[in-house]
Amino acid sequence: MPGLVERAGLKDLNALYEIERRCFGKEAYSKFLLRLLLMDPRSIALKYVTENGSVLGFVIGRIERRRGELVGRIYTLNVDPRYRRRGIGKSLMTALEDEFKRRGCRKSGLEVAVDNEAAVSLYRSLGYVFLGKLKNYYGPGRDAFLAVKELR
């Protein structure tokens, strides 16, 4: 799917929220939380846009300090379900990791639902190492994997 990755901002809030809802339904981040992430100076928000300006996916990460070092944390990765399996998620993740590296992060981390097989597969293919399971991370009976990648 021809398109490009570019910065996302508050002007994209409605489009990002709509994709978030399509991807996660009742578990989607609220528009309020997405707005906070977009406004946070430590956040990096990227969108995948077609030639005609349609947003097909986005990723939001944030630079945090852990044990004295800068690390990138992935908060949400979304690809419109109609456009999955076309490399959009991989393009977004690669661009975000590049930005993390550029800003001095040596690691990238994320949490992913254990039953989200497509996302788990994507993160494994990108070199994320799964360190363990977080019991009830997404609520009762909804566990997550904790995954980390060394950025070189």
Query: How does pLDDT run across 123-145, given as a tens digit for each residue?
Result: 999 999 999 999 988 888 889 99
Q: What is the pLDDT of residue 138?
A: 86
Query: How does pLDDT run across 81-124, given as a tens digit for each residue?
Result: 999 999 999 999 999 999 999 999 999 999 999 999 999 999 99
Contact 3, 92 (CB under 8 A): no
Q: Residue 142: what residue type?
A: R
Domains (ranges, CATH) in the chain?
4-150 (3.40.630.30)
Record the pTM. Answer: 0.92
Query: How does pLDDT run across 15-53, given as a tens digit for each residue?
Result: 999 999 999 888 889 999 999 999 999 999 999 999 888
Q: DSSP per residue over the chain, as a string?
A: ---EEEE--GGGHHHHHHHHHHHHGGGSPPHHHHHHHHH-TTEEEEEEE-TT--EEEEEEEEEEEETTEEEEEEEEEEE-GGG-SSSHHHHHHHHHHHHHHHTT-SEEEEEEETT-HHHHHHHHHTT-EEEEEETTTTSTT--EEEEEEE--
